[in-house]
Amino acid sequence: MNERDFFKNPFSRSEMEALLKGKQASEMFNFRSPSFKELGLDRDNLEDDDLIKLMLEEPRLIRRPVVRIGGNVHFGADSKVLANLIK
């Protein structure tokens, strides 16, 4: 198991795109974050590229935890979901 503090060691754009691997950036984006609310942006007007740029600038906007199990990446999964995934 590898852990990474992406506040101290932020993702690069290519790493983020690899984590998303065909998924929409909204799956990784934390719209409930106070940091997002402070921005005052309308989520309906944000494209994937906008969301990626925002997450690169402010890691608090990434849904945590980010967990990779095998070839699958899960964003914001709670402990019950993760427990089922590792069975």
Q: What is the reported pLDDT for 1?
A: 63
**Which one-letter DSSP state was computed for residue 29?**
B
Tell me what the mean pLDDT of segment 53-76 comes to. Answer: 92
In a domain, 36, yes or no: yes
In a domain, 3, yes or no: no
In a domain, 4, yes or no: no
Position 57, amino acid: E
CATH label of the domain that carries residue 18: 3.40.30.10
In a domain, 34, yes or no: yes
Q: Which range marks the domain in which residue 66 is found?
A: 13-85
In a domain, 39, yes or no: yes
Inform me whether the pLDDT recorded for 81 exceeds 80. Answer: no
For 6-59, how does the pLDDT look when each residue is reduced to its tens digit (9 = 90+)?
999 999 999 999 999 989 999 999 999 999 999 999 999 999 999 999 999 999
Give the number of domains in the chain.
1
- Higher-confidence position of 83 and 27: 27
CA dihedral 10, 15, 16, 21 (to 10 degrees): -160
